[in-house]
Amino acid sequence: MTQDSTLPLARRYDTALLDLDGVVYRGADAVPHAVSALLEAAEMGMHLAYVTNNASRTPDAVAEHLVALGLPATPQDVVTAAQAVARMIAEAVPAGAKVLMVGGEGLRVALEERGLVPVTSADDAPAAAVQGYRPDTSWAELAEIAYAVQRGVPWFAANTDLTMPTARGIAPGNGALVTAVAKACPGQWPQVAGKPEIALHRETMLRTKAERPLVVGDRLDTDIEGANRAGVDSLLVLTGVTTREQAEAADGPHRATYVADDLRALLKPQA
């Protein structure tokens, strides 16, 4: 594709790999200007792919949410950390193995699609243990993961985002729950699929076949670092957890190619 810097980003890149929480929506509500900007970017020829570290919902549920907001989306347009971590686990354990799971419907469906059997107790002889975000996760569920890890069961996590933006403010993310388990298992840390690790990017490239992607996110330590690790350009939008001061001070793996207030930046040339 042409890299004429006078063109809008939506014409310079063939695919937007869009984070969701804090970029497209906060909770149930769309981020201001997100829907209209993405519709116009799609009209310019940019393919919209939705890539999320949040493993709680299925691609079908995410696509329904996006359509309800007014965006064109199918389940095939959505790539989740649940899908990425399920692939990782399936490559590490025998076919049909039991997996101790703490997480939402999205993680359960992703595991079952890989032929794995979700279980709820460390006493069920799981071949692996995995954590994904679910807002009503209980102490008892975290304890089961800890018991399994203490017994030597391989531990995986969909993502380790410490926080996540919601309609009411910034809330603890899956990384906070993973850290709680790690405190009970000194010296242990899970294999992680989500951004900035490479597993979710691998899953995304396999599913979208993007040739000139632009990663769009709101977090320096996941979206932007992940893009830099993958050698992909990135746009940081200031509608989630990162402030302009933090973005401008970032360097090395946390420095974005572009920084903008919101997704309307896709419709304009950017320095």
Ligand-binding site membership of 218 (annotated): yes
Q: What is the pLDDT of residue 43?
A: 97
Each residue of 77-98: pLDDT tens digit? 999 999 999 999 999 999 999 9
Average pLDDT, the chain: 94
Ligand-binding site membership of 136 (annotated): no
Question: Interior CA angle at 137 toward 223 and 57, to 5°?
Answer: 50
Across the range 11-37, mean pLDDT stands at 95
Question: Measured between alpha carbons, how far is 202 from 26 in angstroms, rounded to an integer?
Answer: 26
Q: What is the pLDDT of residue 3?
A: 61
Superfamily of domain 46-211: HAD superfamily/HAD-like (3.40.50.1000)
Q: What is the pLDDT of residue 1?
A: 40
Q: What is the pLDDT of residue 22?
A: 93
Q: What is the pLDDT of residue 178?
A: 98
Helix (H, G, I), strand (E, B) or coil at 31: coil
| Alpha-carbon torsion angle 181, 243, 168, 48, nearest 10 | -90
Each residue of 176-229: pLDDT tens digit? 999 999 999 999 999 999 989 888 877 887 888 889 999 999 999 999 999 999
Helix (H, G, I), strand (E, B) or coil at 145: helix
* Residues involved in catalysis: 19, 21
Each residue of 134-167: pLDDT tens digit? 999 999 999 999 999 999 999 999 999 998 878 7
Ligand-binding site membership of 60 (annotated): no
Running DSSP on this structure, what letter comes out for residue 30?
A: E
Strands of 117-119's sheet in order across: 117-119, 98-102, 128-131, 155-157, 191-192
Q: CB of 24 within 8 A of CB of 266?
A: no
Helix (H, G, I), strand (E, B) or coil at 128: strand
Which pair of structure tokens corresponds to residue 2? Answer: 């042409």
Taking phi over 0 as left and psi of -120 to 50 as alpha, with beta for the rest, 149 belongs to alpha
Q: With bands split at pLDDT 50, 70 and 90, how would you rate the model's confidence at 54?
A: confident
Q: What is the pLDDT of residue 167?
A: 79
Site of tokens 């670092």: 225
Ligand-binding site membership of 21 (annotated): yes
Each residue of 115-137: pLDDT tens digit? 999 999 999 999 999 999 999 99
Question: Measured between alpha carbons, how far is 53 from 160 in angstroms, rounded to an integer?
Answer: 9
Residue boundaries of the structural domains of the chain = 46-211, 214-258
Q: CB of 105 within 8 A of CB of 76?
A: no
